[in-house]
Amino acid sequence: MPAINLSDDKTVLLHTCCAPCSCAIIEQLLSEGIRPDLFFYNPNVHPFDEYLQRKASVIAYARKKKLDLIDADYDPETWLALVKGFENEPERGKRCSICFDIRLKKTAEYASTHQYKLFATTNGISRWKDMDQVNHSGRLAALPYSGLAFLDRNWRLDHAQAKASRITKEEQFHTQNYCGCIFSFRPGK
Ligand code: SF4
């Protein structure tokens, strides 16, 4: 992938899954002088109440940092239809690839139609995720659009996990102990 000069592309559309996964990435971009616009599109999250809580934390942090946020549709029926047949896949398996594809294709489409040159996602920062799998979905999502690139950085560097834990505690974000979809949800887990 060619080197991306962020100073030439000041605005990044950042797909955000939840506040704990987003905060350290947002801080990193702000420290580089980049003010990302946040794109909240997570039709995978179940139940609806959990979706609302995750979104509320992201909105509160965006307000605090004075960042713009695009609130995309919830639409869990479409998500469920697209992962049909892969319900029993393990985490990091085929269902997760489809899930990343769904969310990042929508992000790329929005980015392209709104003249962003770069988009990124917070999906890969968690150590529970396969970062290569996430970045592969991002690169794939960018392919149909000329003039749009996926920023496939390793966001785990520079003690990002520790930074994220500290900010999550300070900001009292809503936290969760499962990835998000009904198939990763375990009551009482
Ligand atoms: S486990 Fe997470 S990444 Fe995988 S399908 Fe469920 S919500 Fe998506």
> Going by CA atoms, what residue is nearest to atom 2 of ligand 1?
179
Q: Exposed, middle or buried by CB within 10 Å (0-12, 13-18, 19+), for 88? A: exposed
pLDDT at residue 128 in the model: 86
Peptide bond into 47 cis (omega under 30): yes
Q: What pLDDT shows up at residue 10?
A: 55
Q: Which residue's alpha carbon is nearest to atom 5 within ligand 1?
A: 96
**What domains can be seen in the chain, in order of their start residue?**
8-171 (3.40.50.620)
Distance CA 23, CA 13 (A): 15
Residue 169 has pLDDT above 90, yes or no: yes
Are 187 and 46 in contact by the 8 Å Cβ rule? The answer is no
- For 63-98, how does the pLDDT look when each residue is reduced to its tens digit (9 = 90+)? 999 999 999 999 999 999 999 999 999 999 999 999
For 16-58, how does the pLDDT look when each residue is reduced to its tens digit (9 = 90+)? 999 999 999 999 999 999 999 999 999 999 999 999 999 999 9
d(CA 134, CA 49): 26
